[in-house]
Amino acid sequence: MAAIKTIGVLTSGGDAPGMNAAIRAVTRSAIYNGMKVKGIFRGYKGLIEDEIVDLETHDVSNIIHHGGTILKTARCKEFKTVEGRQRAYENIKKHGIDALIVIGGDGSLSGARQFASEFDFPVVGLPGTIDNDLSGTDHTIGYDTALNTIMWCVDRIRDTASSHERLFFIEVMGREAGFLALYGALAGGAEAAIIPEISTEVDQLAELIQNGFRESKNSAIVLVAESPVTGGAMDLAERVRKEFPQYDVRVTILGHLQRGGTPTAQDRILASRMGAAAIDALLEGQRNIMIGDDDERIIYVPLSKAIRKDKTIDREILEKLKHLSK
């Protein structure tokens, strides 16, 4: 592979705390190694529409502690078309970009893999998503911050739940993965988590009620992943009102609160290590991989594996949550 002199970096899909730390690490590591850096605004949309600028060291100063992404992000249907990807490739060549670093989740890395395959172009992905649902990595950038935000909210909702002796359903993000709901419930001392991974196996709500989850308590909190598989917090609350009218039930939907805020130390460190590792990988001749975290070791994961959607929930944690809620 020819020497890489200029890299492009973009953030795509949903924003995640720590993306700025990753942009900073990519930019400064690249410059340290004699490369030029091009920042691409608004993800694949900006790549197609030629929103590409030079990034220097000072452009990424004082951003490590900010949530969101200075490069902005956007969904892009056009990139899913052959014509859209061709326009993106023409702009890449126009700016002399030799390799692309994509920071995002499953959809973003799926697009990166397809682009890399079609144009035989070097791409390195960084796992930037609060859902923690990418395979081949223990943690994704933004997950720890979102988990801490959920814990902070659960702590405060418990005060009012206890005062009014109510059952609260708290809906968190995670359409296809229950990591935030499960570990948020464990960290927040919630009575249960309803997650998509087991919703097709058991009626989680019926099991919850039948097991007498309020035997020794005058209030309860249940975290629910927003997935249509679980039904979501609103549907579950309505079902409780009909089937178990003895419960005074309320719903809180955390929504985009989970994506914002100052990234935690863990997310800043993870993003910085992964951003620097992306440049190391390119210098080593790696391509079409995602940077992963395996027991705190940086690893290279083929993009095909990263987007496989086979990351599993630890069933033991689910059982421990049931034991600890009694």
C-alpha distance across the termini of the chain, in Å: 59
Residue type, 235: D
- Give, in order, the Cα–Cα distances in Å from 145 to each of 246, 272, 293, 324: 36, 15, 16, 24
Sign of torsion, CA 185 311 9 49? negative
**Euclidean distance between CA atoms 293 and 127, whole angstroms:** 10
CA 29/CA 15 separation, integer angstroms? 22
Inter-CA distances, 19 with 12, 102, 177, Å: 10, 11, 21
Q: How far apart are CA 133 and CA 312, in angstroms?
A: 9
Tokens of 14: 């949903």
109 and 290 in contact (C-beta within 8 Å)? yes
Who contacts 310 (Cβ-Cβ below 8 Å, separation ≥6)?
Answer: 135
Active-site positions read 131
Q: Beta-carbon neighbour count of residue 256 at 10 Å?
A: 10
Do the Cβ atoms of 184 and 154 come closer than 8 Å? yes
Q: Are strands 220-225 and 167-172 parallel, antiparallel or unpaired?
A: parallel
* Distance between CA atoms of residues 108 and 23, nearest Å: 16
Selection from 90, 101, 86 nearest residue 12 by Cα:
101
3-class state of residue 214 by DSSP = coil
Distance between CA atoms of residues 190 and 297, nearest Å = 31
